[in-house]
Structure 1
């Protein structure tokens, strides 16, 4: 497998792992100390998060046939990171700050790597 295709695949598997784990945890735990409305929205979004993990896993597994979907996933993750930045700018950085910055870093850094590697792939016809 060409290097750029392998990089795309690794990025997609990374996103899949994060989304499947995060979606599962959020679905099970819900939103602590909340209202039924907020918990409902939280678990709904956890389902979307988990579903994104399934899509990323499938895209990674079938990476040789993927084109536009890879760009859409990268853009989706980057937009989610922008949402996190908006939240931090409006209500502040949650505690522990290191944890939330640790979430934010790959959300901002991996999408450009994914887009660049997909763009440079030689195995796309």
Structure 2
């Protein structure tokens, strides 16, 4: 009598390295290990963790360099440096008392805007 074939208990690379999406998040080290394993598994050749780390660092540098004019990640979104205008000093009423609110200078804020494809993926 033949034995039934055993199912392989092979976990996917994503769940093994990064954990399930319900977890809080992942570290840079876990992301690098995942990228190296995923690229190697998809036939891109053997990619070491050092090469994956260099890719992540290079991508981060490019995003920060192009953020003032709009750094685009195709299919995901756009990273933009937004100018916040200055706010004048004013007096407001709070709980029946006048409060002086000091002026705020002009500033900048880093903003990520998701693309239509990314919004459609999550149903928003």
TM-score bracket for the superposition, by shorter chain length: under 0.3
Q: Which has the higher helix share?
A: 1
Q: Which has the higher strand share?
A: 2
Q: Could you say which structure has the greater relative contact order, defined with CA pairs below 8 angstroms and 6 or more residues apart? A: 1
TM superposition score normalised by structure 2: 0.26
Structure showing greater radius of gyration is 2
